[in-house]
């Protein structure tokens, strides 16, 4: 697939994006999705970890390793990461009510980042929670947990800078599929009781690192 073809797919699938959560949305099971790739290599490790929303107890998980067939091109991360994540999703015995992706959602040049693409593909409410700002700018952000500042790109609010831990760097939240920004921010804050990143992302990242180490063990 070329980048031009990927762009056409993004634009076409964006028409399927639903920008509000289901009525009375209150997820019972939440999941984190993460992919790790060694620098300059084209082999990736993926994991999806499912937690109970109320206790953050892990109730299911799946991991995979695969060759990544799409190059690293900013703005097209989903075409690189979703194939190994799809294998994880298919293997889950219990599907979650919400998936938090370690990447962008609506805060994307074409308003269709990883969380939007994955959410539409799996038809599940989804949120993008990224460590770095990708598009747009935001104003001054207070230093306390829960402080926010809208991310604005080309005159549109596309996401929110969110302080999940007092004094820590913010995370950058945007809605995926079947989601709005207000709900996405509330969910990420609830899923981040102790650390900068939500527990969904932390647990998926831990599992990815475990399978990477196991794969390299003699």
Distance of CA 108 to the CA centre of its chain: 13
Evaluated on CA atoms 131, 7, 19, 47, the torsion sign reads: negative
pLDDT of the residue at 217: 53
Question: What is the chain's Cα-based Rg?
Answer: 16
Strand ranges for 113-190 from DSSP E? 126-130, 137-138, 148-153, 156-162, 171-175
Handedness of CA 207, 169, 187, 127 (dihedral sign): negative
Structure tokens belonging to residue 133? 């700002």
The two tokens of residue 210 are: 């475990």
Decide: 178 and 124 in contact? Cβ < 8 Å.
Answer: yes
Q: How many domains does the chain have?
A: 1
Distance CA(16)–CA(25), nearest Å, equals: 19
Domain that holds residue 90: 3-216
The residue with tokens 């929670």 is 129
Contact 151, 172 (CB under 8 A): yes
Among the listed residues 6, 211, 218, the one whose alpha carbon sits nearest the alpha carbon of residue 88: 211
Q: What is the C-alpha to C-alpha distance for residues 109 and 134, in angstroms, rounded to an integer?
A: 9
β 98-101/29-37 pair status: parallel
Three-class SS state of 182: helix
Please list the helix, strand and coil fractions of the chain in percent, rounded to the nearest 5, in that order: 30, 25, 45
Digit-coded pLDDT (tens) for 182-212: 999 999 999 999 999 999 999 999 999 998 8
187: domain CATH number is 3.30.2170.10
Give the SS3 label for residue 191: coil
The pLDDT of residue 218? 54
For position 128, what pLDDT does the model report? 98
Q: How far apart are CA 48 and CA 208, in angstroms?
A: 9
Q: In Å, how far are 72, 84, 94, 197, 213 from 103, measured between CA atoms?
A: 14, 15, 23, 12, 23
pLDDT of residue 206: 95
Parts of the chain with a pLDDT under 50? none
Which pLDDT belongs to residue 126? 98
Name residue, tokens 């969910």.
187
Q: What is the pTM of this model?
A: 0.94
Give the pLDDT of residue 69.
Answer: 85
The alpha carbon of 14 is separated from its chain's Cα centroid by a whole number of angstroms, namely 17
pLDDT of residue 132: 96
């Amino acid at each position: 697939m070329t980048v031009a073809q990927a762009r056409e797919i993004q634009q076409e699938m964006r028409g399927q994006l639903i920008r509000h959560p289901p009525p009375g949305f209150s997820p019972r099971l939440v999941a984190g999705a993460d992919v790790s790739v060694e620098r300059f290599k084209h082999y990736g490790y993926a994991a999806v970890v499912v937690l109970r929303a109320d206790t953050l107890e892990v109730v299911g998980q799946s991991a995979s390793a695969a060759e990544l067939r799409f190059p690293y091109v900013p703005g097209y991360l989903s075409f690189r990461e979703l194939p190994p994540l799809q294998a994880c999703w298919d293997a889950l015995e219990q599907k979650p009510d919400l998936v938090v992706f370690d990447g962008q959602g609506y805060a994307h040049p074409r308003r269709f980042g990883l969380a939007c693409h994955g959410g539409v593909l799996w038809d599940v409410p989804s949120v993008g929670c990224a460590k770095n700002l990708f598009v747009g700018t935001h104003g001054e952000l207070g230093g306390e947990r829960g402080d926010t500042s809208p991310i604005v790109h080309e005159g549109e609010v596309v996401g929110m800078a969110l302080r999940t831990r007092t004094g820590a760097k913010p995370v950058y939240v945007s809605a995926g599929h079947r989601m709005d920004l207000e709900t996405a921010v509330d969910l990420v804050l609830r899923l981040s009781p102790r650390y900068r990143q939500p527990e969904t992302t932390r647990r998926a990242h831990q599992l990815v690192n475990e399978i990477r180490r196991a794969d390299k063990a003699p």
